[in-house]
Amino acid sequence: MARILVMIPSGEVYGHNNVRWYEYRNVQKFIDHYHNIGDAFVFDSSLKLLNYTKVQTLEIATFDPNELDRLREEFDYVVLRGSNYINSEMDWRQSEQVLKRLGLPVLAFGIGAQAPTDGKIELSESTRNVLRLMADSTQSIGVRGAYTAEVLHDIGIDNTRIIGCPTAFRKNDPDLKIVLPALETVKKVGITIRREVSPAYAKDIRQYLTLHRELIKSFASRFDTVLMAQGEREEKKIVLGTPEQKEEAIATLKANAWASEWYFDEQVEELYRSRLFYSDVVADYDDCVRGCDLVLGYRLHGNLMALANGVPAIYFTYDSRTREFADTFKIPSFDVFAEKVFRLGDLWDQSAFDAFNHAYAQTYAAMREFLDENNVDHVMHSPATLEQINDLKIAWR
């Protein structure tokens, strides 16, 4: 079993391979801090696939040669959890100096590129250097999809492997399949919401938000609906804050020009007050999605969390990230900026989810091969192995 350093984690580890936000019980400490708990989904899921005895954070904000020399002797490799690091604004701090001195293999675990709405992605020299360091340190570098592989190819990195995202495999089930129930039996629906978005990545904010609003309202009128937030400050305050903070958050949303005009009307306000969900504990999202018959919406990892738990999910794609994920896993999706009306029945087709089932199995195998290729001790297994384990009623951990 390995000893691993984690580069850019997102939360604290407990119970060996579970993740929650730092000091999660101290709600007031982070009530005004934006953190996307979806990043913690990826961290948590990554740990669930690896076989290790020890995990520790690798600090990249500072450079201490003596400390790095000690870590080199005590650890086997570094994990960079999957996220959108490949963008024009990424700040790697002291990563280049740290990784050079440390000299350990750096496992890029499903990293991705974030393209702007207009023009080609422009990478800093620091980003290029760090990516090349990682690619040179291992047999292969794990990326989430074809677009990211193309971006890396353009800077001379060709040892990429498309492995999707660990969140998809958090249940470690190579035989996972989505089987659609009859649409008329669907009662509980989760909508993964993302109110805040940058015009640098979503080309029409008005269309983005108005469709978001109508999705929420139409589904809430038809189904028992839960709105699943992942970190915006106002949404977090409404769920976790004091009564005063909740009303302050409502007032802030009403005062926001984009939200008040295109998103946060009286009906959405009432739904925010009664059906909003947020947690700083990753496992709570497992529980939330398992209680749903369908999950759909704007959140990349929120939707993927549902699929990992065997719950049908539909992506609303609006940028390069969401499109790349939907393409890698062949997930049924709806283009937010398409000139057509969203109808659930159009996507409620078993053949569409069979395409996901096939892509999932292929990508699970690719993830396993990627870890093997890089000599990383892991707990992923073949379908036959899982079948034998289930027959013997031995719990995999």
Query: Is the pLDDT reported for residue 324 higher than 90?
Result: yes
pLDDT tens for residues 86-108? 999 999 999 999 999 999 999 99
Q: Which residue has the higher pLDDT, 394 or 288?
A: 288
Per-residue pLDDT band for 304 (boundaries 50, 70, 90) equals very high
Question: Do 190 and 292 have their domain in common?
Answer: yes
Query: Is the pLDDT reported for residue 395 higher than 70?
Result: no
User: What is residue 115's predicted lDDT score, i.e. its pLDDT?
Assistant: 86
Query: Is the pLDDT reported for residue 296 higher than 90?
Result: yes
User: What is residue 119's predicted lDDT score, i.e. its pLDDT?
Assistant: 73
Q: Residue 26 maps to which CATH number?
A: 3.40.50
Distance CA 372, CA 396 (A): 19
Closest CA to 349 of 364, 361, 333: 333
For the chain, the straight-line distance linking the first and the last C-alpha, in angstroms and rounded, comes to 14
Residue 165 lies in a domain: yes
Question: Structure pTM?
Answer: 0.94
- Residue 210 CB coordination number (10 Å): 14
Per-residue pLDDT band for 383 (boundaries 50, 70, 90) equals low
How buried is residue 45: exposed, middle or buried, by Cβ count under 10 Å (0-12/13-18/19+)? buried
b/e code 255-280 from CB counts within 10 Å (16+ = b): ebebbeebbbeeebeebbeeebbbbb
Structure tokens at 6: 């984690």
Instruction: Assess contact for 304 and 313: CB atoms under 8 A.
Output: yes
pLDDT tens for residues 148-171? 999 999 999 999 999 999 999 999
Query: Is the pLDDT reported for residue 394 higher than 50?
Result: no
Question: Do 212 and 289 have their domain in common?
Answer: yes
Query: Is the pLDDT reported for residue 270 higher than 70?
Result: yes
Distance CA 92, CA 130 (A): 8
Instruction: Assess contact for 289 and 283: CB atoms under 8 A.
Output: no
Q: What is the DSSP string of 280-307?
A: SBHHHHHHHHHT-SEEEES-HHHHHHHH
What is the percent of the chain where pLDDT is above 90? 92
Question: Do 162 and 194 have their domain in common?
Answer: no
Question: Do 340 and 371 have their domain in common?
Answer: no
Question: Do 38 and 62 have their domain in common?
Answer: yes
Residues 6+ apart with CB under 8 A from 101: 63, 65, 68, 69
User: What is residue 301's predicted lDDT score, i.e. its pLDDT?
Assistant: 96
Residue 178 lies in a domain: no
How buried is residue 95: exposed, middle or buried, by Cβ count under 10 Å (0-12/13-18/19+)? buried
User: What is residue 145's predicted lDDT score, i.e. its pLDDT?
Assistant: 96
Residue 115 is part of which domain span?
A: 2-173+360-392
Question: Do 109 and 196 have their domain in common?
Answer: no
DSSP 281: B
User: What is residue 120's predicted lDDT score, i.e. its pLDDT?
Assistant: 82
Residue 379 lies in a domain: yes
Question: Do 371 and 259 have their domain in common?
Answer: no
Question: Do 217 and 332 have their domain in common?
Answer: yes
Question: Do 245 and 368 have their domain in common?
Answer: no
Residue 259 lies in a domain: yes
User: What is residue 391's predicted lDDT score, i.e. its pLDDT?
Assistant: 40
Residue 266 lies in a domain: yes
> What would the mean pLDDT of 370-397 be, rounded to a whole number?
66
β-bridge pairing 12-14 and 52-58: unpaired
Count the domains in the chain: 2
Structure tokens at 325: 């994920």
> What would the mean pLDDT of 127-140 be, rounded to a whole number?
98
Question: Do 127 and 7 have their domain in common?
Answer: yes
Per-residue pLDDT band for 381 (boundaries 50, 70, 90) equals confident
Question: Do 219 and 341 have their domain in common?
Answer: yes
Per-residue pLDDT band for 384 (boundaries 50, 70, 90) equals low
297 Rama sector, left if φ>0, alpha if ψ -120 to 50, beta otherwise: left
pLDDT tens for residues 193-227? 999 998 988 999 999 999 999 999 999 999 999 99
178 Rama sector, left if φ>0, alpha if ψ -120 to 50, beta otherwise: beta
Of the candidate ranges 69-78, 125-134, 245-254, 386-395, the one whose mean pLDDT is the lowest: 386-395
Residue 229, amino acid: A
User: What is residue 390's predicted lDDT score, i.e. its pLDDT?
Assistant: 45
Residue 294 lies in a domain: yes
> What would the mean pLDDT of 55-59 be, rounded to a whole number?
97
Residue 309 lies in a domain: yes
Question: Do 128 and 219 have their domain in common?
Answer: no
Instruction: Assess contact for 4 and 75: CB atoms under 8 A.
Output: yes
Please give the mean pLDDT across all residues of the chain.
94
Distance CA 226, CA 222 (A): 12
Residue 355 lies in a domain: no
Distance CA 90, CA 124 (A): 8
β-bridge pairing 12-14 and 141-143: unpaired
